[in-house]
Copies of this chain bind each other. A is one copy, B any other.
Amino acid sequence: MEEKKNVKYHSADECPITATIDVIGGKWKPPIIWLLLRGPMRFGELHKTIPAMALKVLSRTLKELESDGIILRKAYPEIPPRVEYSLSQKGESLRQIMTLMSEWSRANIMDEALNPGPL
């Protein structure tokens, strides 16, 4: 018998879900991971694909994902410079979760206007 019933949270990050969302959450991390699941992309390519995201925010977010081990950064020592971002093994392992969340949103959020729900 597990004693699940006695769990207590004395801080938020004791929750395993919260720990995961800290890594993949935030305003812009999901779209970036979601895009990189389809293959590597260059900095400018990401910028053009997410025009709503300020450059500063993009580079900051990429650095966070890199330091969390989710993405890999490969800089080519050329002129002009070229930098390619791709998912690490750890990032790849998020594929199933991301896919399920995408399906869940399509089923439960996007359809909301159509399904007012039980009254």
Main SS of the interface on chain A? helix
* A25 engages B25 (CB within 8 Å): yes
Known: A7-B35, A12-B27, A31-B12. A17 touches B52 (CB 8 A): no
How near does chain B come to A27, taking the closest CB pair, in angstroms? 5
* B117 engages A69 (CB within 8 Å): yes
Interface-centre pick from A10, A51, A105 (highest chain B CB count, 10 A): A105
B interface footprint on A10-26 (CB within 8 Å = 1, 0 otherwise): 11101111111101110
Which A residues contact B (CB, under 8 angstroms)? 4-5, 7-12, 14-21, 23-25, 27-28, 30-31, 33-35, 38, 48-53, 69, 90, 93-94, 96-98, 100-102, 104-110, 117
